[in-house]
Structure 1
Amino acid sequence: MLNDWENHRTETDYESSLVSKIFITNFLTGYLSLFLIAWVYIPFGEAITPYLTLANIPHHHKPVGPERLKAQVAYFVIVGQVINFATEVVVPYLLRFAIGEAKEKITGEKVHTDSGADKAEEAAFLRRVRAEVALRNYDVYEDYAEMTVQRLLTWLSSITTSSLAYLFSPTTDINSPYTPLFTLLAIFLGEHLFIVAQHTITNLFALLPSNADNTVRRQEYALKKRWLDRVAGAAELVDGSVVIESEKAQAGVAGFWEETEDEEEGVQLIRAAFKNK
């Protein structure tokens, strides 16, 4: 609704603004609490609370520790994935089934049944087409937004996980002056390992041919073959016409030399040439 009020000039601007809002909303609603717990409440909670009291800002909350962070991370990793799967796959299927049953009871007619006019060989195809028509419109930007969010979260996890693993390690001395430096080194190492793994997996998958690649190659081969056949046919026609015209020219030259001209006509031509001089 907010995106509709912005009155974008083109569809591309509209979709770009919508995707940006989806990114920001997903971050604020799902992952901002993790950042606050990990980087504000746990390390600076005891230092911030007295300032809130001095500023007369009411605050009533229980102390937040590593247990709260572990529980929330487990929710996003396990429970959140199950809920997303159920919302995207199971719920739409159940809704289609329930809506179809409700329409059958209201109208008394079966939904997506084969009519008598359908041929036997077309019945399966028409049944699939009717089922696809009943589906909601596919929104490519929704999947694009999800993939981008997943990639961003994977990159952020390489940073946060490495830093949290080092800071909460039993062998780490939080009061050591070298702790910030080692934390940055852990973040640097974790991020670069993620980049190397990403490029390796991308290159490996690029080596595997897909159905789309095979289809494109077959279409390109068929197109090239058609053009070669046309060029070969045109070359044969051109060669044939050249041979015929050359034969006609040679026949004309030979006929010219074989013709016997009248001597009187030749003498007249010579005299006319001298008179002109």
Structure 2
Amino acid sequence: MDALVVGNYCHDVLVNDAGEVHTLGGSAAYISNVFEAMGVSHAVVAVAGEDFAYVDRVRQPPRIIPGTRTTRFRADFRQGERVLRVDARAEPIRPEDLPCDARVALACGVMGEVLPETLVALSRRARHVIADTQSLLRALDAEGRVVDLPLERTPFAALLGHLRVLKASEAEARVLDIDAVRARTCLVITRGERGCSVLTADAVLDVPASHVEEVDPTGAGDCHLAGFALGLLRGWPLARCAELANWFGAQAVTQVGVPRLDAAALPPDLR
């Protein structure tokens, strides 16, 4: 396989002043969508409950565990910024769930389903491992709201050496010791309409964004992660990987839910 995508599909409920939208969610759905559009051979490793509502929407279905529920997020945008809550959590993904080796593995859990031992197993089965920081930091407060723990308070702090790239949003980056992270792996910080920054032990590179009209920010970071992985699969340098990642992240915000992508729309310099 070119890629292993390791993270659960989920049920997303998007709430704004106009009402609610129920849709397929989960980083795996967005990342797999990019890989399908680009012809990347990949396997999705995901777990869901018997209530999973979108079997007809995914080409690679999750492993259904009887008697359990699918992870469900409620994203409320009515106060001007997203408030994210979780009212159901699926089972974790374990090392024995990994089906094959791959050139690149993406640890893209949405709510703690990628266990530390699974991340280590991925590093043994793939040439490069890319992780989304949300896979490592997310926890729930007493009201079910999603919060980010400092990396030092998680078992993943000692595992950065297993990663080729760690992607973080600006909010997630605020709970990272950035200098400590970039000393051990490449850190990519996404900055919305301002693009992203690529930080290594030796350099910091700011890469501007592709400018589009935003409709829904959900999944932008996931598509960004997929674009970066695609660049690594092509053997591109980090700066060009980031340009490709920014393009895919921009496409995600122009549509509600998992976006429809057209490989022919890629700028000529990114094909």
By percentage of residues, which structure has more helix? 1
TM-score norm. by structure 2 comes to: 0.21
Q: Which has the higher contact order (CA 8 A, sep 6+)?
A: 2
Q: Which of structures 1 and 2 has the bigger CA Rg?
A: 1
Which structure is higher in strand share?
2
